Amino acid sequence: MHAAEQFDLGIDGWRMEILVTAALVYVAIGAAFFAHPASPAQPDDFDWRNQIDVFRATLPDVLGWPVGLWRFGRSCLGPD
């Protein structure tokens, strides 16, 4: 086993931790909103073999949700 002192992140280690946390939150929010089978869902949709198809179909929405939110905000509130 290694002692905790050997895994020192240094002075700027907290920045990487914040970046990783933000990336995980980004993906989690997108997955919660968009990574689900199309309606109406069938029992076979939740089989692990079919989840890769759902993942592939929804990946652009999962990763691009902030762009859609930004466009929606600009269309409702105007350019300024």
d(Cα 15, Cα 3) in Å, to the nearest integer? 22
Axis-axis angle for helices 13-34, 48-77 (nearest 10): 100
Tens of pLDDT, residue by residue over 28-59, are: 887 777 767 677 777 777 777 777 777 788 88
To the nearest 10°, the Cα dihedral for 19, 20, 22, 26?
A: 130
Tell me: pLDDT of 13 over 70: no
Which pTM does this prediction carry?
A: 0.50
